[in-house]
Structure 1
Amino acid sequence: MYKTHVLDNGLTIIGEEIQHVKSISLGVWINAGSSIENKKVSGVSHFIEHMLFKGTKNRTSKDIANQIDNLGGQINAFTSKECTCYYVKLLDSHIDIGLDILSDMILNPLFDKNDIDKERLVILEELKMYEDSPEDLAYDLLTENVYAGDGLGMNIIGTTKSLYDINQEEILNYFKDYYLPNNSVISISGNFNFEEMVNKIEEKFKLWEKKEVEIEIKKAEFKNCFVTKNKDTEQVNLAMSLETISSENIEEVYALAIVNTVFGGSISSRLFQKIREEESLVYSIYSSQSLYKKCGELGIFASMSNENLEDVYNLIIEEIKVLRENYLTDKEIKETKEQLKGSYILGLESTSSRMMSIGKAMLLNNRVKTTDDILKSIDEVDKKTINRVIDKTFNLEKLGICIVGKDVEEIKF
């Protein structure tokens, strides 16, 4: 059962006590991601994520790494479209050290000019790494064009130009605007006492001052597109995107999860079984859902030889049309509900996955469902809701396509 507490400065704490484990995962969540950036500072959220590991007033970057490594723990962070998270996973007896380090990183970062210039080069290398991955590149190009002109379409890492342009002043201004207690959540999962942990967190973060924060989220317009990029690869990579519901559409979120799982979200899915197992045209093919506050997309990804591209594309379109025309069978719905429940329960065996789940939900939705509530929500999805979601999502009038590979610029479907 989850417990929550809000400190006087607006910092929300949510925790789940699991007494039979020996570890604790603790995350500090900031309600700021790449979707609220503008073109000039594209990548600044991710840049700050890197900078918080470069040292504080009390620790060097090596100190941060050593103090966690020496305990056999983990410390890491990630930036997404809608949020940034810094987290540790440690034995329960060591969590005080993890909390001290995270609070030091959040409250006392140096943002030294020389460190900024050095880390800029590291992030540029990271950008090149993703650009060298055809699948990542296809997804990034597709998102950029599907949400053209909106922050949601910008690369989380930024662009070469924006990374060179971002300076210390812009980093500090962004940090001061969004790294606020009333714009953050701390989530904890593992072996701890909630009341004791609240006291420890309050002691560390009580001087973190709140102030007004304005984040206006508008629905990003989904734009049809057909994008190609030549890249000297052995395979061609196909990425497709269909407009779907937002994460705020609570009634239909679980229905979409069922539909996605049947369509391409597992090895028993229609796409995998038809295009890989029956036709042997691909090694990798799958679908996934990306849901944001005001909009969402269902992505379809496949890698194949150039000569198989057209056949794979046509088979995907055929499966979309079949799904839209015939919907799901009762057997598929029943089996997929059990599959989703099983995957969810197995995921709960990790304190880090539990911490991630409750932290993100509290930060972005201001609510967390219990395990029983989630299982019940899956069970209660009816066929009418599933059909409605299929009608909304599998609409070929809202379609984005990106192809990355050798000699693809002249391709037309």
Structure 2
Amino acid sequence: MGHFQKPGSTRVLEQGPGGVVRRSVLPSGLRVVTEQIPGARSASVGLWVQIGSRDERPEVAGAAHFLEHLLFKGTAKRSAAEIAEEIDAVGGELNAFTSKEHTCYYAHVLDEDLALGLDLVCDVVFDALCEEKDFETERGVVLEEIAMRDDDPEDLLHDAFTEALLGDHALGRPVLGTEQSIEDMSRDALYGFYKRRYTLPRMILAVAGNVEHATVMRLARKAIGDRLSREGSPVAPRAGRARIASARKLVLHTDDTEQAHLMLGVRGLDRHDERRFAFNVLNAALGGGMSSRLFQEVRERRGLAYQVYSSVGLYADTGSLSIYAGCQPDRLGDVAGVISSVLEEVAADGITDAELARNKGQLRGTLVLGLEDTSSRMSRIGKSELNYGDHLSVEQTLARIDAVTVEEVAALARELLRRPVSAAVVGPYASADDLPAQVHEVIA
């Protein structure tokens, strides 16, 4: 495991025709991971922080995401306008995103502008002022974002489904927080969250592109400065078993939409489970593409929905397998019934050899095609270090996908697809009693 690498040392993690991946562990606990990609013309810089919405107490729900907004509002040496002007002047991108388990601040620039990209990312993460007036401005922006989520049935549905599946557990709460929690939050509470949680041992600096590891190290030392003199050990990747009480089985959001939006699913595997490659093959077979069981049954054969797909969520200590469909409100019962019968069939009989081959090919292609740009490479090395403290090369990952057997997928389908089903619906239904009987039968 990478977090046992000796502080002050650098190690080559992968060396291939595509590039070289190196990791340095600094005495401060910060890890720097780079992928040198000869022939690339750009560089992507990401500062990953192992802090997400699951780390918030209920009274500061939404703090990690709120903070992500606030840090761009000005630092000790740059105003918000100057930050924007400097990245625009080189045609680059500077942004951030928050998830349930981590936050990432990133820049994508031409390789010759690496120094600026890295300096901007470090400046906003380490030196943001978080002033009261900016805090109030961004409070309004975050409330607008929550309102926008509420206006988008699919976004609203995802949060409702997570609540149905995971209930009161921190993973079951929305990343954005609630209107109430954002309105009640004080600047001091948010600033305290920032200062306590944003520490070097929880961070990984990941850089991919036409870059030299030694150059990245030099630029990082310059940008982060004296903070690197503090001693610390890297925080180990999250692990464990989530203790989740049985959640509400059904969450309904009444909304006067043209379509009914349905998401249903079961608890899945956590990301440390060695069967996660088989889990991805199972997901692809169920609803991962146009040849998948659900797409063929729901859309192609019956024309019940325009969009139907399945997806997996992998967390440190639990996971999810979910299925989405959007349809006319009077077809919701039929859609739920067909989805249920597809799940029963796969639970009983597994998938065919032809499906296995096709879906392994799909996963291989998606993985390799997804690594065509430096941003996705940066994301891959940063997430691997954060989630596993380890690095699987592309070849090793492809080998793990290739090793999946029909029997493994069948055993997993038997175990997962017979677990209790949770569901969420957004649509023109006044109460759960108005939902078709088939929806209630699926979650019974």
Q: What range is the shorter-chain TM-score in?
A: over 0.9
Q: Distance in 1 between matches of 2:28 and 2:295?
A: 50
Q: Which residue of 1 is the match for residue 286 of structure 2?
A: 263
SS of match in other structure, 2:73: coil
- Aligned pair partner of 2:215 in 185, 196, 201: 196
Where does structure 1 lack aligned partners over 5 or more consecutive residues? Answer: none
Equivalent in 369, 378, 382 of residue 359 of structure 1: 382
Partner of 1:387: 410
- Match of 1:244? 268
1:280 aligns with 2:299: no
Query: Residues 369-408 of structure 1 correspond to what in structure 2 (within 5 A)?
Result: 369-395=392-418, 397-408=419-430
Deviations 1:337-365 (A, max 9, x none): 11111111111111101111110111121
In structure 2, the residue matched to 1:293 is 316
Aligned-partner Cα distance in 2 for 1:220–1:65: 43
Secondary structure of 2:275's aligned partner? helix
Counterpart selection for 1:122 from 128, 133, 141? 141
Aligned partner letter, 1:161 = Q
What letter corresponds to residue 17 of structure 1 in structure 2? Answer: Q
Letter in 2 for 1:109: A
The residue number in structure 2 matching 1:46 is 65
Q: Which moved more, 1:166-175 or 1:316-325?
A: 166-175
SS in 1 for 2:96: strand
Give the counterpart of 1:177 among 196, 200, 204. Answer: 196
Asked if the contact 1:224–1:398 (Cα under 8 Å) also holds between the matched residues in 2, the reply is no
Q: TM-score, normalised by structure 1?
A: 0.96
What is the aligned length?
A: 411
Deviation at 1:283, TM superposition (A): 0.7
Check the 8 A contact 1:42/1:162 in 2, yes or no: yes
Offset at 1:408? Answer: 5.0
TM-score (norm 2): 0.90
Within a 5 Å distance, the mapping from 1:318-337 to structure 2 comes to: 318-337=341-360
Aligned residue number for residue 11 of structure 2: none
Match of 2:255 in 1: 231
Query: Aligned partners of 1:90 and 1:220: how far apart in 2?
Result: 42
Q: Deviations over 1:155-194 (max 9, x none)?
A: 1000011001111211122112211111110111100111
Distance, in Å, in 1 between the alignment partners of 2:232 and 2:190 is 18
8 Å CA contact retained: 1:31, 1:82: yes
| Contact persistence 1:180–1:211 (CA under 8 A) | no
Per the TM alignment, residue 23 of structure 1 is displaced from its structure 2 partner at its CA by: 0.3
How much has 1:128 moved relative to structure 2? Answer: 0.3
Indicate the residue corresponding to 2:153 in structure 1.
134
User: CA-to-partner distance for each residue in 1:332-389, whole Å, 9 max, x for gaps?
Assistant: 1112111111111111111101111110111121112101101111111122322222
1:14-64, CA deviations, whole angstroms, 9 ceiling, x for partnerless residues?
A: 111001111001100000000111210000000110011111011111111
Percent identity for Structure 1 against Structure 2: 33
Structure 1 distance, partners of 2:241, 2:70, is 29
Once residues 107 and 60 of structure 2 are traced to their aligned partners in structure 1, the CA distance between those partners, rounded to angstroms, is: 28
Q: How far apart in 1 are the matches of 2:308 and 2:206?
A: 34
Q: 1: distance between equivalents of 2:79 and 2:241?
A: 39
Aligned equivalents of 1:153 and 1:257: distance in 2? Answer: 22
Question: Take 2:409 and 2:241, find their aligned partners in 1: how far apart are those partners?
Answer: 26
* Matching residue of 1:8: 27
Assess if the C-alpha contact under 8 Å between 2:288 and 2:311 holds in 1: yes
* 1:408–1:394 CA distance, 2 compared to 1 (3 A): farther
2: CA distance, partners of 1:210 / 1:265: 45
Q: C-alpha distance in 1, partners of 2:164/2:248?
A: 8
SS at 2:313 equivalent: strand
C-alpha contact (below 8 Å) 2:167/2:248 kept by paired residues:
no
1:152 matched to which residue of 2?
171
Q: Given residue 19 of structure 1, which amino acid in structure 2 is its aligned partner? A: P
**Superposition deviation, residue 199 in structure 1:** 1.9
CA distance in 2, matches of 1:280, 1:145: 28
Is the 8 Å Cα contact of residues 189 and 355 (structure 1) preserved in structure 2?
yes
Distance 1:300 1:8 in 2: 45
Q: Which runs of 5+ in 2 are unaligned?
A: 1-13, 15-20
Tell me if structure 2 keeps the 8 A contact 1:288–1:298. yes
Is residue 27–residue 232 contact of structure 2 (8 Å, CA) maintained in 1?
no
The CA distance in 1 between the partners of 2:239 and 2:37, in whole Å, is: 36
The CA deviation at 1:279 is 0.5
Q: Displacement of 1:220 after TM fit?
A: 4.3
Q: Per-residue CA shift, 1:105-147, capped at 9, x if unaligned?
A: 1111111011101100000000000011111111111212321
Measured in 1, the distance between the counterparts of 2:225 and 2:24 equals 14
Determine if the alignment matches structure 1 residue 78 to structure 2 residue 94. Answer: no
Distance 2:346 2:46 in 1: 40
- Tell me if the contact between 2:349 and 2:410 (Cα under 8 Å) persists in the aligned partners: no
> Paired residue for 1:88, among 95, 103, 107?
107
Deviations 1:66-112 (A, max 9, x none): 11111111111000000000000000000101111111111111110
Structure 1 contact 15–189 (Cα < 8 Å) conserved: yes
Residues 286 and 300 in structure 1, CA contact (< 8 A), matched pair in contact too:
yes
Question: What letter is aligned with 1:204?
Answer: A
Q: Could you tell me which amino acid in structure 2 is paired with residue 137 of structure 1?
A: L
CA–CA separation in structure 1 for the residues paired with 2:241 and 2:221 = 34
**1:294-322, Cα deviation, whole Å (9 max, x unpaired):** 00001111100011100000000000000
- Cα root mean square deviation, aligned: 1.6
Contact 1:25 1:88 in 2 (8 A): yes
- Report what 2:17 is aligned to: none
